[in-house]
Structure 1
Amino acid sequence: MASLASAVAMAMRVPRSCPRAAFGDRRSSLLVALSLTAASKTRQGIERLFADSIKQLDSSLARVSQARNMEEALMTVPDLETIPYRVISRHYGYEIRQVESYLVAETSMPGKKGFEFFGSSQAFNTIATYIFGKNTKQQEMAMTTPVLVKNESIKLEMTTPVVSTQEAEDEWKMAFVMPSSYTEETLPTPEDSSVTIRRVPAALMAVTSFSGLVSDEEVRKREEKMRQSIKLDGKVRVKPGARVEVAQYNPPFTPPMFRRNEVALEVEEIQD
């Protein structure tokens, strides 16, 4: 603003002895000054845009260099704190990660499917109100990524003489990762009793990534494909009783092709 004011002031300086016709020159000078200032502002804007584009390009190139395919290269992740892990090995279609322990706030999801709109929205809003201040400290916490969804179905054995099958009582849960600056002692207690705080232990996880919208059928296909691939690994196997966990990294307004979703299964090393 200071440079604009200076330019205008300079343009408006016309000696009092100048005839009225000088006002035309003065007006022309003012237009020139405004044009030059606008051009300067535009140049600055272009320079900032260029710098931001370079940063985005660097980020994209780094992502492409680590991606296994174009789908993964296009996936984006918000600049938020996330689950701490390190990659142990990378394979076609999945990778093995050593995931560190972390805290979550979780709640049960209504419905028999994990990705129904009503159930997902209700669970999301329940936990969101907790981190936005509905807690014993009325404290707002930072957003993190991803949002986790897990099927914790309880297997029930049938004991009749005629039938010997298993049935599953679906119990889906959604969880938000808590900021690492908190511990169990310092994390505010939820006012809503349906929200619970839990520490997830460190684990070895097999993870596959995909873009697009998440559905129960898509998760089932990704899980089955990864299970089959892990059987050929030779070094790890799916841990008995492991249940699939789905991570969604992006806000709802992110175009499907740029979303990052993950399906994860706990694995264990094969002992010789």
Structure 2
Amino acid sequence: MGMILGKITVETPKYEVIKSTNEYEIRKYPASVIAEVTYDPSQMKGGNKDGGFTILANYIGAIGKPQNTTSEKVSMTAPVVTQSSNAAAAAEAIAMTAPVITKGREGEKEEVTMQFILPEKYKKAEEAPKPVDERVVIKQEGERKYGVVKFSGVASDGVVKDKVEGLRIALDKDGFKVIGEYLLARYNPPFTLPFLRTNEVFLPVE
């Protein structure tokens, strides 16, 4: 019931709010360990853009026995990160944990990289269980800073595009330099009532 009503019950990353305005927040996130899989959606059943989700969910044991060398069950956390080479795919990520994040960028071939952020207890990549599936890569991301806008409802392509453009304009106006492509974060499962969903768009800044 909590999921349907938009309640977020999984671990979410800590961050420091550096600046807060009526239009956006500037947040600094600490280093984290992630599990990642890269795939071509056209090679997935039905052209599924979220085909990597099952691979990663199997790794942590979210569905069945954990597919890692120690059979260690890893808690679902937030966010799930999806990096797409096709901006049109940006609003297609599923959100079983909080949030699902989609990075949009242009490219000739659509390729998706999906990431699970592992629990905070894993401080280094080598501390995380080793995947059985060689498509799953464990790595560490360093500290990063983002401009962030929060919104509710369905994160459709059009809505996301508008939010990203508005955020980009606001950041530029205040002198922040954007240094990468956007991320779309969705904090709720797809069956959550739309008006109770929490979504965010991120733009990395210097």
TM-score range, shorter chain: 0.7 to 0.9
Does structure 1 residue 147 correspond to structure 2 residue 80? yes
Counterpart AA for 1:244: Y
Identify the match of residue 22 of structure 2 among 92, 98, 115.
92
Structure 1 counterpart of 2:140, one-letter code: R
Higher relative contact order (CA 8 A, sep 6+): 2
The within-5 A match list for 1:14-33 is none
How much has 1:230 moved relative to structure 2? 0.8
Quote the Cα distance in structure 2 between the aligned partners of 1:117 and 1:228.
34
| Corresponding position of 2:60 | 131
- Alignment partner, residue 248 of structure 1: 186
Per the TM alignment, residue 108 of structure 1 is displaced from its structure 2 partner at its CA by 2.0
Kindly provide the CA deviation profile for residues 87-136 of structure 1, in whole angstroms up to 9, marking residues without a partner as x. Answer: 11112221100111111112124338xxx98221x211111011000111
1:212-233, Cα deviation, whole Å (9 max, x unpaired)? 2233333222211111111111
TM-score, L = length of structure 2: 0.76
Report the 3-state secondary structure (helix = DSSP H, G, I; strand = E; otherwise coil) of the residue aligned with 2:173.
Answer: coil
**Aligned residue pairs: how many?**
175
C-alpha contact 1:206 1:265 (8 A) present in aligned 2: yes
Whether 1:171 aligns to 2:100 is no
Residue 32 of structure 2 corresponds to residue 102 of structure 1: yes
Gaps of 5+ in 1: 1-55, 57-74, 154-166
Using a 3 Å threshold, how does the CA distance of structure 1 residues 77 and 231 change in structure 2: closer, same or farther?
farther
- Residue 120 of structure 2 corresponds to which residue in structure 1? 180
Q: Deviation of residue 77 (structure 1)? A: 4.9
**Whose helix fraction is larger, Structure 1's or Structure 2's?**
1
**Alignment CA distance shift 1:151-1:119 (3 Å):** closer
AA aligned opposite 2:193: P
Q: Sequence identity of aligned pairs in percent? A: 35
- Is the 8 Å Cα contact of residues 151 and 243 (structure 1) preserved in structure 2? no
Deviation beyond 6 Å, 4+ runs, structure 1: none
- Structure 2 Cα separation of the partners of residues 143 and 184 of structure 1: 17
Aligned to 1:24: none
Corresponding residue for residue 226 of structure 1: 167
Amino acid at match of 1:211: S
Residue type of the alignment partner of 1:221: D
